[in-house]
Structure 1
Amino acid sequence: MISAAAVLAALLVTVPGYKPKESEAQQTTRPNVIFIFSDDHAYQAIGAYGSKLAKTPNIDRIAREGAILHNNVVTNSICGPSRATLLTGKYSHLNGYKVNERKFEINQPVFPEELQKNGYQTAWIGKMHLGALPHGFDYLNVLPGQGQYYSPDFVNGKGDTTRYPGYVTNVTTKLSLDWLNGRDKSKPFFLVVGHKATHREWLPDIQDLGAYDNVTFPLPATFYDEYENRDAAKNQDMTIDKTMRLKEDLKVHLDYDKRGAYNRFSPEEKKKFYDYYENKISKEFDEKKLSGKALVEWKFQRYLKDYLATANSLDRNIGTLLDYLDKSGLAKNTVIIYASDQGFYLGEHGWFDKRFIYEESLKTPFVIRYPGVIKPGTQVNQLVSNIDWAPTLLNLTGTAIPKDIQGVSFLPLLKGQKTNWRQEAYYHYYEYPEPHRVAPHIGLRSSQYKIVRFYGPKDYWELYDLKKDPQELRNLYGVKGYEAIAADLKNKLKDQIRKYKDDEALRIVEGGE
Structure 2
Amino acid sequence: MKTPFTALLVLLVTFTSINASTAQTGNKKSNRPNILYIMSDDHGYQAVSAYGHQGLNKTPNIDRIAHNGAIFSRAFVTNSLCAPSRAVMLTGKHSFVNGKVDNVQKFNWDQESFPKLLRKNGYQTALIGKIHLDGLPQGFDYSAVLPGQGDYYNPDFIVNGEKKQIHGYVTEITTDLALDWLKNRDMDKPFCLLYHQKAPHREWLPAPKYYKQYTKMKFREPETLFDDYSGRGTAAKTAEMNILKNMNWSGDSKIYPEIMSALGIEETTNWGIRAFNNNLGRMDDAQRTAWDAVYRPIAEEFEKKYPSMDHEELMHWRYERYMQDYLASIASVDEGVGQVLDYLEENGLEDNTIVVYTSDQGFYLGEHGWFDKRFMYEESLRTPLVMSYPKEIKPGTKIDAMVQNIDFAPTFLDYAGVDIPKDMQGESFRKVVGGENPEWRDAVYYTYYEYPSIHMVKRHYGVRTDRYKLIHFYYDIDEWELYDLEKDPHEMKNVYDDPEYAEVQKNMHGRLTEIRKKYGDSDANDQRFLHAYLEAIKK
TM-score range, shorter chain: over 0.9
Q: Could you report, residue by residue, the CA deviation over 1:29-87 in whole angstroms, capped at 9, with x for unpaired residues? A: 21111101100000001101112231200011100100011100000000000000000
Structure 1 residues 384 and 334, CA gap change in structure 2 (3 angstroms)? same
Corresponding position of 1:55: 58
Confirm whether residue 179 of structure 1 aligns to residue 181 of structure 2: yes
Q: Per the alignment, in what secondary structure is the counterpart of residue 332 of structure 1?
A: coil
Corresponding position of 2:46: 44
5+ residue gaps, structure 1? 14-18, 509-513
Corresponding position of 1:470: 489
- Output the CA distance in 2 between the equivalents of 1:236 and 1:5: 69
Q: Per the alignment, in what secondary structure is the counterpart of residue 324 of structure 2?
A: helix
TM-score after normalising by structure 1: 0.93
Structure 1 residues 74 and 23, CA gap change in structure 2 (3 angstroms)? closer
- Output the CA distance in 2 between the equivalents of 1:25 and 1:111: 20
Q: Per the alignment, in what secondary structure is the counterpart of residue 218 of structure 2?
A: coil
Structure 1 residues 11 and 20, CA gap change in structure 2 (3 angstroms)? closer
- 1:146-295 → structure 2 map (5 Å cutoff): 146-157=149-160, 159-228=161-230, 229-254=232-257, 260-278=278-296, 280-289=297-306, 290-295=309-314
Q: Per the alignment, in what secondary structure is the counterpart of residue 462 of structure 2?
A: strand
- Output the CA distance in 2 between the equivalents of 1:5 and 1:245: 67
Q: Which amino acid aligns with 2:369?
A: G
- Output the CA distance in 1 between the equivalents of 2:199 and 2:526: 38
- Output the CA distance in 1 between the equivalents of 2:500 and 2:143: 55
Query: In 1, are the aligned partners of 2:27 and 2:189 still within 8 Å (CA)?
Result: no
Corresponding position of 1:102: 105
Query: In 2, are the aligned partners of 1:104 and 1:134 still within 8 Å (CA)?
Result: no
Query: In 2, are the aligned partners of 1:26 and 1:333 still within 8 Å (CA)?
Result: no
Deviating 4+ runs (over 4 angstroms): 3-7, 9-13, 19-28, 254-259, 505-508
- Output the CA distance in 1 between the equivalents of 2:149 and 2:318: 24
Q: Which amino acid aligns with 2:428?
A: S
- 1:396-415 → structure 2 map (5 Å cutoff): 396-415=415-434
- Output the CA distance in 2 between the equivalents of 1:25 and 1:147: 33
- Output the CA distance in 1 between the equivalents of 2:470 and 2:336: 39
Query: In 1, are the aligned partners of 2:26 and 2:190 still within 8 Å (CA)?
Result: no
Query: In 1, are the aligned partners of 2:30 and 2:189 still within 8 Å (CA)?
Result: no
Structure 1 residues 22 and 486, CA gap change in structure 2 (3 angstroms)? closer
Query: In 1, are the aligned partners of 2:410 and 2:428 still within 8 Å (CA)?
Result: yes
- Output the CA distance in 2 between the equivalents of 1:281 and 1:164: 29
- Output the CA distance in 2 between the equivalents of 1:20 and 1:408: 30
TM-score after normalising by structure 2: 0.89
- Output the CA distance in 2 between the equivalents of 1:35 and 1:326: 16
Q: Per the alignment, in what secondary structure is the counterpart of residue 321 of structure 1?
A: helix
- Output the CA distance in 2 between the equivalents of 1:40 and 1:21: 36
Q: Which amino acid aligns with 1:219?
A: E
Shift of 1:8: 3.5
With 222-231 and 295-304 compared, the bigger mean Cα shift is at 222-231
Q: Which amino acid aligns with 1:282?
A: A
- Output the CA distance in 1 between the equivalents of 2:257 and 2:47: 27
- Output the CA distance in 2 between the equivalents of 1:134 and 1:149: 21
| Identity within the alignment, % | 47
Query: In 1, are the aligned partners of 2:77 and 2:382 still within 8 Å (CA)?
Result: yes
Q: Per the alignment, in what secondary structure is the counterpart of residue 190 of structure 1?
A: strand
With 131-140 and 348-357 compared, the bigger mean Cα shift is at 131-140
Confirm whether residue 493 of structure 1 aligns to residue 500 of structure 2: no
Shift of 1:298: 0.4
Greater helix share, 1 or 2? 2
- Output the CA distance in 2 between the equivalents of 1:299 and 1:373: 45
With 404-413 and 325-334 compared, the bigger mean Cα shift is at 325-334
Structure 1 residues 489 and 11, CA gap change in structure 2 (3 angstroms)? closer
Q: Could you report, residue by residue, the CA deviation over 1:259-312 in whole angstroms, capped at 9, with x for unpaired residues? A: 52212212111101011111x210221121223111111001110011001110
Shift of 1:331: 1.3
Shift of 1:27: 9.9
Corresponding position of 1:369: 388
Corresponding position of 2:137: 134
Q: Per the alignment, in what secondary structure is the counterpart of residue 445 of structure 1?
A: strand
- 1:293-304 → structure 2 map (5 Å cutoff): 293-304=312-323
Within the candidate set 398, 416, 421, 2:440 is matched to: 421
- Output the CA distance in 2 between the equivalents of 1:200 and 1:11: 48
Q: Which amino acid aligns with 1:372?
A: K
Query: In 2, are the aligned partners of 1:222 and 1:349 still within 8 Å (CA)?
Result: yes
Confirm whether residue 8 of structure 1 aligns to residue 15 of structure 2: yes
With 223-232 and 119-128 compared, the bigger mean Cα shift is at 223-232
- Output the CA distance in 1 between the equivalents of 2:45 and 2:179: 26
Corresponding position of 2:263: none
Q: Per the alignment, in what secondary structure is the counterpart of residue 209 of structure 1?
A: helix
Structure 1 residues 21 and 68, CA gap change in structure 2 (3 angstroms)? closer
Confirm whether residue 308 of structure 1 aligns to residue 315 of structure 2: no
Corresponding position of 2:264: none
Confirm whether residue 503 of structure 1 aligns to residue 516 of structure 2: no
Q: Which amino acid aligns with 1:166?
A: G
Q: Which amino acid aligns with 1:384?
A: V
Structure 1 residues 262 and 400, CA gap change in structure 2 (3 angstroms)? same
